[in-house]
Amino acid sequence: GENVEQHPSTLSVQEGDSAVIKCTYSDSASNYFPWYKQELGKGPQLIIDIRSNVGEKKDQRIAVTLNKTAKHFSLHITETQPEDSAVYFCAAKAPGTGRRALTFGSGTRLQVQP
Amino acid sequence: ETGVTQTPRHLVMGMTNKKSLKCEQHLGHNAMYWYKQSAKKPLELMFVYNFKEQTENNSVPSRFSPECPNSSHLFLHLHTLQPEDSALYLCASSPTLGRAYNEQFFGPGTRLTVL
């Protein structure tokens, strides 16, 4: 089955700096890669996703890149703000009903220091 | 109510109690999921339902019993739990398992404490 590894487990940056979280996946058939943000006391919230037919996607201060050959994808947050502090999860999914819906990484706790 | 809702938000129970967690989605989705979130395993998939049929049981102990009466509602029945079952239980929904890009939406979770 799919295996997703996520690094780093914790990340501390100064406000205004950039943050990068990296994930690798094992199933070459995976074609959907969402990122979730989980704030304290809340469920994970989908913030951006990328599909295997594109290499990069941006939404304001966040961007995701995908390297299918190397089987890794990354989340980039620019001009970080204190409200970006949260736990971020990457995930991957291969097509087909028989496959597990989403396989999640172990999470990255991002702390933005004001 | 919009999105995915879960009740109760907090639950404290003894090891001999029987309780149930409820999840409801208002997104018109057909797939629903239960996850367990703890410090040891951040997002551990427990059960998956697609069009009310269970498609995955991730080796979950029988003291956890899911029920999906329709595509909008999902329950997790709890009985004779152990203290190590204390965790945040998250419900999620998505359009359907068969869809190529299957965006999952999570509820706020139920914080369960087993004494």
Closest CA of chain B from A17, distance in Å = 26
Q: Model confidence at A99, in pLDDT bands (50, 70, 90)?
A: low
A100 or A44: which leads in pLDDT? A44
Structure confidence at residue A97 (pLDDT): 56
| Region class of A16: left (phi > 0), else alpha (psi between -120 and 50), else beta | left
Structure confidence at residue A92 (pLDDT): 92
Interface test mutation site (partner B, options A35, A100, A106, max chain B beta carbons within 10 A): A100
Structure confidence at residue B1 (pLDDT): 56
Structure confidence at residue A95 (pLDDT): 77
On the question of pLDDT at A100 being above 70, the answer is no
Q: What secondary structure does DSSP assign to B33-82, as a single string?
A: EEEEE-SSSSSEEEEEEETTEEEEE-S--TTEEEEEEETTEEEEEEES--
- Mean pLDDT of all residues belonging to chain A: 92
- Euclidean distance between CA atoms B3 and B68, whole angstroms: 17
CB contact under 8 A, A101 and B103: no
Residue whose structure tokens are 């951040």: B42
Q: Which residues of chain B have pLDDT under 70?
A: 1, 98-100
Structure confidence at residue B110 (pLDDT): 97
- Mean pLDDT of all residues belonging to chain B: 92
Structure confidence at residue A53 (pLDDT): 80
Question: Is A101:B48 a contact under the CB 8 Å cutoff?
Answer: yes
Query: Tens of pLDDT along A15-52?
Result: 999 999 999 999 998 989 999 999 998 999 999 999 98
CB pairs below 8 Å between A and B: how many?
A: 59
Question: Is B76:B20 a contact under the CB 8 Å cutoff?
Answer: yes
Mean pLDDT of all residues in A100-110: 89
